[in-house]
């Protein structure tokens, strides 16, 4: 019985072996009419290093031109699908729509800045470029992409400032420690000078004269500018700031009609980098500031929540578009402006900076900076005090008149040197 079982097993094995041999002869190339043995092929293959399935995929057909074309078509399809997915993700990202859809009464500026920051992190990566990137407003239908000096395309309806203002600054080259060290702990006065990109000569004349008081431990002085879409001008500003480190640059496009955004930008910078400063003077680059007189003025006033400057009352809006100070009805509908300090030079107590910045974002945008500030002051019940030594116009360049003035407006670059010399002339005695 055992013998028959052994013989049966041998016969079955023989038949199976013959079947495999016949199958191999159909597919394996032959040499001399005899099929190559499977063992020989196995031995040859064993000398090739093994690969992971993902590495070996397509390795034998990659040189086929038809296969190459099909692979390229497949990659192109995958690329299109991937791009569509990315676009869908960006459009559906709720963080990108927060500023438009969320109730402004419940949206804090810090939350808005956080949302804007998160949305940038989730945006598609881009290559770094030294060219200025135009700023696009988050408001639908509004774009602030323009050349320096052009007016933004604002809607013909009221719009909240938070929908227009782009927070943040280009602080790469600025010397923050020199301008406002320790958050303004030892700083009595911070002077912020609004300047235009092309006003290089005006900035240099200020640096050579009254800006020298910025070397004092208790005084910090810096210029405030916006962005530009002019590549050569952008590089020139980078070089200037690398040398002097005294230019604060916001994210808005720098133009006359964006002066309100520039004022908000300097409030934001002060609130972020110099929150402990006692007083802030906002002025323009065509204004001469008598810093010693200003410091004496500060020592004689110990008020809180106050703005000092040249006050104008009962002024009426100009509705003609050709006029420089034109203001449309949808930005301000009143027939008379509230009392306001002229924007050429005014002094703020440090305790209202944060409040002004936060409230400015929740206020409807007004393109005239003086009037926008007046609306904020009225809403926040901040006191404004008229100071006769803040001159909104030119005055005779007499030594004693200059020494008794805190600010003199409408000064040309070359005139600043003459005023500075007369202020510093110790041979002239004044009563």
User: Which CATH number fits the domain that encloses residue 417?
Assistant: 3.90.550.50
Q: Is residue 8 part of a domain?
A: no
Q: What is the pLDDT of residue 5?
A: 63
Q: Is residue 92 part of a domain?
A: no
Q: What is the pLDDT of residue 110?
A: 45
Q: Is residue 337 part of a domain?
A: yes
Domain count, the chain: 1
Q: Is residue 128 part of a domain?
A: no
pTM: predicted TM-score of the whole model, two decimal places: 0.67
SS3 for 257-314, per residue? HHHHHHHHHHHHHHHHHCCCCCEEEEEECCCEECHHHHHHHHHCCCCCCEEEEEEECC
SS3 of 217, please? coil
Quote the domain boundaries for residue 339. 162-424
Strands 383-386, 340-349: pairing is unpaired
The pLDDT mean for the chain works out to 76
**Residues 265/267/273/278 CA torsion (nearest 10 deg):** 160
Q: What is the pLDDT of residue 94?
A: 32
Q: Is residue 70 part of a domain?
A: no
In this predicted model, what pLDDT tens digit does every residue of 57-111 receive, in sequence order? 333 333 344 344 444 444 444 343 334 334 333 333 332 333 333 333 333 444 4
Range with top average pLDDT, 146-150, 167-171, 188-192: 188-192
- The structure tokens 């410091």 sit at 295
Question: In this prediction, what percent of the chain has a pLDDT beyond 70?
Answer: 65
Residue 331 has pLDDT above 60, yes or no: yes
Q: What is the pLDDT of residue 382?
A: 98
Q: Is residue 24 part of a domain?
A: no
As a whole number, mean pLDDT of residues 231-242 equals 95
Residue count (the chain) = 431
Residue 412 has pLDDT above 50, yes or no: yes
Q: Is residue 73 part of a domain?
A: no
Model confidence at 302, in pLDDT bands (50, 70, 90)? Answer: confident
As a whole number, mean pLDDT of residues 221-225 equals 98
Q: Is residue 277 part of a domain?
A: yes
């Amino acid at each position: 019985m055992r013998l028959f079982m052994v013989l049966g097993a041998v016969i079955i094995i023989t038949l199976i072996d013959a079947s495999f041999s016949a199958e191999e002869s159909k597919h394996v190339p032959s040499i001399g009419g005899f099929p190559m043995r499977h063992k020989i092929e196995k031995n040859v293959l064993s000398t090739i290093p093994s690969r992971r399935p993902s590495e070996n995929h397509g390795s034998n057909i990659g040189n086929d031109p038809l296969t190459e074309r099909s692979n390229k078509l497949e990659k192109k399809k995958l690329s299109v699908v991937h791009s569509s997915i990315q676009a869908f993700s960006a459009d559906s990202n709720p963080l990108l729509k927060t500023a438009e859809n969320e109730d402004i009464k419940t949206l804090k500026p810090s939350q808005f800045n956080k949302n804007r920051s998160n949305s940038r992190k989730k945006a598609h990566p881009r290559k770094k470029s030294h060219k200025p990137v135009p700023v696009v407003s988050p408001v639908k239908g509004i774009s602030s992409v323009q050349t320096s000096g052009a007016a933004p395309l604002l809607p013909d309806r009221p719009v909240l400032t938070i929908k227009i203002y782009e927070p943040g600054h280009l602080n790469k080259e600025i010397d923050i420690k020199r301008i406002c060290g320790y958050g303004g702990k030892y700083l009595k006065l911070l002077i912020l000078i609004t300047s235009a990109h092309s006003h290089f000569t005006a900035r240099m004349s200020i640096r050579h004269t009254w800006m020298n008081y910025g070397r004092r431990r208790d005084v910090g002085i810096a210029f405030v500018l916006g962005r530009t879409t002019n590549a050569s001008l952008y590089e020139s500003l980078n070089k200037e700031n690398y040398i002097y480190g005294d230019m604060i640059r916001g994210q808005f496009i720098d133009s006359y009609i964006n002066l309100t955004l520039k004022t908000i930008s300097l409030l934001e910078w002060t609130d972020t980098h110099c929150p402990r400063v006692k007083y802030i003077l906002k002025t323009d680059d065509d204004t001469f500031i008598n810093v010693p007189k200003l410091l004496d003025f500060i020592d004689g006033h110990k008020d809180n929540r106050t703005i000092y400057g040249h006050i104008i009352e009962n002024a009426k809006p100009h509705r003609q578009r050709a006029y420089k100070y034109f203001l449309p009805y949808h930005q301000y509908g009143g027939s008379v402006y509230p009392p306001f300090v002229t924007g050429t030079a005014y002094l703020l107590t440090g305790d209202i900076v944060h409040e002004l910045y936060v409230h400015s974002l929740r206020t409807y945008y007004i393109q005239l900076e003086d009037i926008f500030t007046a609306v904020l002051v009225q809403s926040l019940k901040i006191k404004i005090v008229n100071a006769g030594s803040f001159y909104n116009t030119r005055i005779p360049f007499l030594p004693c008149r200059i020494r008794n003035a805190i600010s003199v407006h409408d000064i040309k670059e070359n005139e600043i040197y003459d005023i500075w010399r007369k202020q510093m002339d110790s041979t002239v005695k004044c009563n």
